[in-house]
Structure 1
Amino acid sequence: MRLTLVPAPDPRVYDDAVRSLPITSPLQGWGYGEARRTLGQEPLRFLIRGQGGQTVGALQLLRKRLVPGFSTLYAPRGPALESLDLLPAVAEAVRRVARPGDALLKIEPPQPVPADGRAVVPSDYGPFRRAETEQPEHTIVADLTRSEDDLFAGLHSMARRNVRTAQKLGVVAGRDDDFEAFWEIFTATNERAQLGAFPRAYYETMLREGNAYGGEAYLVLSRYEGRALAGGLFLAMGGTTAYLFGGSVRDDRLREDGTPYKDAKAPDAFYWNAMLDAKRRGYTLFDFWGIPRVLDESKHSYGVFKMKLKFSEMRVWYPAYDLSLNPAAPAIVRALRWRKTRNNLRKRGSADDVL
């Protein structure tokens, strides 16, 4: 099948297509591209049309300039499609619109592959070859089509106990507009774990633009006696909501008699109420967004993994695939890996990736 990429300048028309496709992701939404624009990346949006003119997909590409004359094209958790069988034809369609300096195309098809040892991750899709991802390749998801009672029963016993404790202590968790509280939690978590972060404008833009044209971007905070102790930023589209950024802080307050506040289990309340909120608003898949490919108990990421695992044991892969667009592509892949390793060493003193 020959496919055609038709430029999509209308954000509502584009997001309507992304939202309606069966294989889709919030990162293919218009708002995510606008957030990436603040980082100097150029979002390009297309509707993917079949030979009869019908829309069979939508594609948001981020053009990322490397050095003068060369750039890469990246489809974050995309493209959105009717079927993965269309990917070989998508490759040829992108070749026809790529610039001479576009050396490489990276895609991350938003179709999860169960990480249960029984499913095989495809090594290729036509000319696309398995490659490193930019988004977390390994993650935990929760099926929100189950009843609330079934969801709660499926939590680890420690999570159920902690959620009940938080409820008894009066922890309040839910959607919240307090960006300053989120930012305090997020930056404190990053500093504690030696993680990098984008400029503040990136997250503010994602919240604003992610809500503008048909998707959703929102905050969930977990508060104990008024103070936000855990929270996150979510991006949603179609049936999926994704917990992209967040964290938690310790409650270091003292009561009037000098005694410390109790551990109110605010992070557990955050996760559980975020899941309930998503379910009640019609989302069917909750993406906890990233766990380590290789488990190491000495690393911060292991604690994050154990926390998420208390709320769902459904682990999946979202593999990436590369398509060379000109002969410089192999050298560019090596250069990108070298740059990522250097950044890891500079930020955390380790060459290993976070996830």
Structure 2
Amino acid sequence: MSLVLEPITEPRAYDEVVRAMPVTSALQGWGYGEARRTLGLVPFRFLLRRRERTVGALQLLRKPLLGGLNVLYAPRGPVLEDMSLLPEVASAIRAWARPSDVRVLIEPPFARDLNLVPEQIGPWRRAEAEQPEHTILVNLQRSEEELLANLHHMARRNVRTAHKLGVHAGRDDDFEAFWEIFTATNERAQLGAYPRAYYETMLREANAYGGEAYLVLARHEGKALAGGFFLAMGGGTYYLFGGSVKDDRPGTNGEVRKDVRAPTAFYWHAMLDAKAHGYRFFDFWGIPRALDESKHSFGLVKMKENFGGDKVWYPGYDFALSPLAPAVARALRWRKSFNNYRKRGTTQDVL
């Protein structure tokens, strides 16, 4: 019997499947879809069923385009019992899709070696992903001593320096402090950001049905200097948004304050917090395929690499639902390049 999409409207029951499956992501959780709804996308949730058995779950976002057309997108999905089900997922989506849906994009996880990422999986063909394709995962099942030993020696030194200088980091409910850091970082690096309601909705909705969204801030003498927004579900937590700011307060006798290594303290304590809450891995989120010293991301990626994780691919794959699909993909790429140029003076992506 072929795979079928069974619509589900009960958030907790849906998230329970997303948490339990071995191939999964917090971006397939109900709360993430509700956040994307604030941007004009419409989420649809399904259980993947074969006979009477649930073998996966799928959150599809319908993204409206000009002319009444739509594209379908499964952020970091689908959720699966086994990757061998991917070809059948394409057939199930085709049976459900509307005539106005021209293309569907998925982002399943793959090996640490790019050479092991296939160009085609059944009807799915390699395509540009919407989320960053390349990331770093840290295995949190090691002891704290092993995690510390696995850090680059400079990161270990900075962790100890931050502690000695009185930096405290951990979960924090101060959204205003996070927002100040996040906004300042985006402006400094000429990055884009969604409206504030997007992040507030994710923080609220992702906590409502079995997943988790939370903030971690690193503070020195009460001032938040670094922080991030995390989305968690199942075995892992994902660092989606964040940044850091300089401490512009006057020091003793008007001197410039020391660098207290707040960003390093933030990452380290975010990892320890995730471990303490039972998560098995920590996803540092996007990094570029190759380091480029001319890009803003260079220093950030070097810092992430210093925490000793493994690089993993989440490649994009698409499936044409209409002959218009190639033209739509080209138009979306052009729009992304134009937005990059408008924001930063280059058509290149940040990562």
2:257 counterpart SS class: coil
Whole-angstrom distance in 1 between the partners of 2:278 and 2:85: 28
Whole-angstrom distance in 2 between the partners of 1:69 and 1:258: 61
> 1:252 offset after TM fit, Å?
1.3
Contact 2:110 2:117 in 1 (8 A): no
Deviations 1:120-153 (A, max 9, x none): 1111111000100100001111011111110000
Which residue, 175, 196, 202 being the options, matches 1:200?
Answer: 196
Amino acid at match of 2:33: G
> 1:101 offset after TM fit, Å?
0.3
> 1:294 offset after TM fit, Å?
3.1
Whole-angstrom distance in 1 between the partners of 2:290 and 2:42: 33
Tell me, yes or no, if structure 1 residue 317 matches structure 2 residue 346.
Answer: no
Partner of 1:92: 91
Mapping for residues 53-92 of structure 1, pairs under 5 Å: 53-92=52-91
Deviations 1:81-122 (A, max 9, x none): 00110011110000010000000000001x24213x6x5111
Whole-angstrom distance in 2 between the partners of 1:314 and 1:268: 18
1:321 counterpart SS class: strand
Whole-angstrom distance in 2 between the partners of 1:327 and 1:275: 46
Deviations 1:272-313 (A, max 9, x none): 000000011110111000111232101111111111011124
Mapping for residues 138-177 of structure 1, pairs under 5 Å: 138-177=134-173
Partner of 1:278: 274
Deviations 1:238-288 (A, max 9, x none): 001000000001111113511122111000000000000001111011100
Whole-angstrom distance in 1 between the partners of 2:206 and 2:309: 29
Contact 2:17 2:57 in 1 (8 A): yes
Partner of 1:234: 230
Amino acid at match of 2:198: Y
2:27 counterpart SS class: helix
Shift of the 164–256 alpha-carbon distance from structure 1 to 2, 3 Å rule, reads closer
Q: Return 5+ residue gaps in structure 2 as ranges.
A: none
CA RMSD in angstroms, aligned pairs only: 1.0
Whole-angstrom distance in 2 between the partners of 1:93 and 1:313: 36
Amino acid at match of 2:270: A
| Larger mean Cα displacement after TM superposition, 262-271 or 294-303 | 294-303
Whole-angstrom distance in 2 between the partners of 1:248 and 1:39: 26
Amino acid at match of 1:148: E
Partner of 1:108: 107
2:198 counterpart SS class: helix
Whole-angstrom distance in 1 between the partners of 2:209 and 2:339: 34
Partner of 2:244: 248
1:257 counterpart SS class: helix
Whole-angstrom distance in 2 between the partners of 1:175 and 1:275: 11
Whole-angstrom distance in 2 between the partners of 1:104 and 1:231: 36
Amino acid at match of 2:203: L
Amino acid at match of 1:283: Y
* Structure 1 residue ranges, 4+ long, deviating more than 6 angstroms after superposition: none
Tell me, yes or no, if structure 1 residue 37 matches structure 2 residue 33.
Answer: no
Q: Return 5+ residue gaps in structure 1 as ranges.
A: none
Tell me, yes or no, if structure 1 residue 186 matches structure 2 residue 182.
Answer: yes
Shift of the 175–281 alpha-carbon distance from structure 1 to 2, 3 Å rule, reads same
Amino acid at match of 1:48: L
Whole-angstrom distance in 2 between the partners of 1:284 and 1:207: 21
Whole-angstrom distance in 1 between the partners of 2:191 and 2:266: 21
Partner of 1:26: 26
2:148 counterpart SS class: helix
2:311 counterpart SS class: strand
Mapping for residues 290-305 of structure 1, pairs under 5 Å: 290-305=286-301
| Larger mean Cα displacement after TM superposition, 187-196 or 1-10 | 1-10
1:344 counterpart SS class: helix
Amino acid at match of 2:39: L
Q: TM-score, normalised by structure 1?
A: 0.97
Whole-angstrom distance in 2 between the partners of 1:55 and 1:290: 31
Amino acid at match of 1:32: Y
Contact 2:184 2:245 in 1 (8 A): yes
Contact 2:139 2:309 in 1 (8 A): no
How many residue pairs get aligned? The number is 351
1:142 counterpart SS class: strand
> 1:69 offset after TM fit, Å?
2.1
Contact 2:136 2:309 in 1 (8 A): yes
